């Protein structure tokens, strides 16, 4: 008798981004207006009141992005189980934040995600690639630290950790894509990954995380963040993306620039005031993470599915809508007379951008030939 065919023995594997990217986009689109309802006195949903909206930005939207980017191909059973756990964690955290599921499921998802993705960097040859291990480890531990109640500037730490990850991911996306765009025009891009600047960024931001978590004066982490923001800006300018006729590279570059600007401004406020200014965090989270994450999701999806860049209108729309969202969110915390209107404008622009992205990811919308 013949055994089962080899084809039947191989489980069907699906790239994690095919599921986690649309989930991240749709969840981000829904969570934003619900957060405004909670913040403007609606009192519902309870998990988005106060610091809850920031927690869901990190543990919901951003961790889904990490899963889609780093998990790679998984069996459908594993992928659906992880996505189901992530979704259950989000529902519990938003609707029943003080319940046992609301407290534990986010940490459980983060730990499983870390166990699956962190060991993959163990055999990396370059220390810059291995440095992703402690960075991801710190991100994975954020839900546990939040749960423990340890007194730390968790919002600032979360922003700093995800800013570090986005600068790493963004650099690894922009460098080869920009080199290819230059080559298509008969030009040569000498500054690609820029390993020295990437090394400085990893060292500066790693030291800033330690300094921010330790009971030291704000001068130390502030200086480190300011310098990191300047280094990131120099790296971005050396890519000369204005020579590239590619909207996906412009979007990634703009998101990278938002992160660099946010780090520099946050560092400056720490130097001047000794403490972080919460409104400044939205330059990184909304402008930086929102724009750069959208560019990463769109580019990776279209490269894997169609071997081509994402539609130009999608990327141009992302750049504009996320800029409106970031500036409106900043205005909501600095111009109190228009706080409610600015919050709703920010939520509308953010949600419109992510719904637009999710539609492209789910329907495989392409530019006409």
Report the distance separating Cα 266 and Cα 273, nearest Å: 10
- For position 7, what pLDDT does the model report? 46
- For position 124, what pLDDT does the model report? 85
pLDDT of residue 316 exceeding 90: yes
Residue given tokens 């990327």 in the structure block: 315
> What are 57-66's pLDDT values in tens digits?
999 999 999 9
- For position 366, what pLDDT does the model report? 65
Mean pLDDT of the chain: 91
Q: Which residues of 221-232 are buried (b: 16+ CB within 10 A; e: fewer)?
A: bbbbbbbbbebb
Mean pLDDT of 328-346: 94
* Cα 47 versus chain centre, distance: 21
**Closest Cα partner for 277 from 260, 265, 290, 294?**
265
- For position 207, what pLDDT does the model report? 95
- For position 226, what pLDDT does the model report? 97
> What are 1-44's pLDDT values in tens digits?
454 444 444 558 899 999 999 999 999 999 999 999 998 887 88
- For position 41, what pLDDT does the model report? 81
Q: Confidence band (pLDDT; 50, 70, 90) for 182?
A: very high
Contact call for residues 66 and 165 (beta carbons, < 8 A): yes
**Closest Cα partner for 199 from 132, 268, 250, 123?**
132
Domain residue ranges in the chain: 1-149, 151-369
Burial class (CB in 10 A: 0-12, 13-18, 19+), 293: buried
Which of 5-19, 27-41, 136-150, 192-206 is predicted with the least confidence, judged by mean pLDDT?
5-19
Report the distance separating Cα 182 and Cα 189, nearest Å: 6
- State the number of CA atoms in the 13 A half-sphere of 244 facing the CB: 27
pLDDT of residue 330 exceeding 50: yes
**Closest Cα partner for 342 from 324, 368, 366, 319?**
324
∠ CA 259-356-302, nearest 5°, is 75
Q: Which residues contact 79 (CB under 8 A, 6 or more apart)?
A: 14, 16, 19, 71
Report the distance separating Cα 29 and Cα 160, nearest Å: 23
Contact call for residues 305 and 265 (beta carbons, < 8 A): no
Mean pLDDT of 122-134: 89
Cis peptide before 365, with omega less than 30 degrees from 0? no
> What are 261-299's pLDDT values in tens digits?
999 999 999 888 866 577 889 999 999 999 999 999 999
**Closest Cα partner for 299 from 312, 310, 311, 314?**
310
Q: Which residue has the higher pLDDT, 52 or 331?
A: 331
């Amino acid at each position: 008798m013949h055994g089962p065919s080899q084809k039947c023995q191989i489980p069907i594997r699906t790239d994690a981004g095919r599921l986690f990217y649309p989930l991240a986009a749709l969840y981000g689109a829904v969570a934003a207006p619900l957060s405004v309802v909670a913040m403007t006195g609606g009192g519902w949903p309870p998990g988005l009141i106060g610091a809850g909206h920031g927690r869901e930005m990190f543990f919901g939207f951003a961790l889904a992005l990490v899963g889609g980017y780093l998990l790679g191909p998984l069996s459908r059973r594993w992928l659906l189980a992880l996505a189901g756990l992530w979704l259950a964690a989000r529902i519990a955290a938003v609707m029943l934040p003080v319940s046992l599921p609301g407290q534990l499921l986010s940490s459980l998802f983060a730990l499983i995600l870390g166990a699956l993705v962190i060991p993959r960097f163990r055999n990396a040859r370059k220390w810059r690639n291995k440095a992703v291990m402690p960075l991801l480890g710190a991100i994975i531990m954020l839900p546990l630290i939040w749960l423990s109640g340890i007194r730390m500037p968790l919002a600032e730490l979360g922003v700093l950790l995800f800013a570090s990850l986005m600068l790493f991911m963004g650099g690894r996306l922009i460098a080869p894509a920009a080199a290819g765009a230059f080559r298509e025009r008969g030009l040569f891009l000498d500054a690609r990954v820029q390993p020295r600047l990437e090394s400085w960024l990893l060292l500066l931001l790693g030291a800033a995380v330690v300094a921010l978590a330790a009971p030291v004066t704000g001068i130390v982490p502030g200086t480190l963040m300011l310098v990191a923001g300047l280094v990131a800006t120099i790296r971005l300018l050396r890519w000369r993306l204005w020579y590239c006729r590619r909207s996906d590279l412009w979007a990634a570059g703009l998101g990278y620039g938002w992160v660099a600007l946010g780090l520099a401004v946050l560092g400056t406020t720490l130097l001047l005031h000794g403490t972080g200014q919460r409104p400044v965090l939205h330059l990184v989270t909304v402008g930086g993470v929102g724009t750069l994450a959208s560019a990463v999701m769109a580019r990776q999806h279209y490269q894997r599915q169609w071997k081509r860049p994402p539609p130009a209108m999608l990327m141009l729309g992302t750049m504009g809508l996320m800029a409106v969202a970031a500036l409106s969110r900043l205005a909501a915390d600095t111009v109190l007379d228009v706080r409610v209107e600015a919050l709703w404008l920010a939520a509308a622009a953010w949600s419109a951008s992510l719904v637009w992205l999710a539609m492209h990811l789910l329907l495989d919308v392409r530019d006409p030939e």
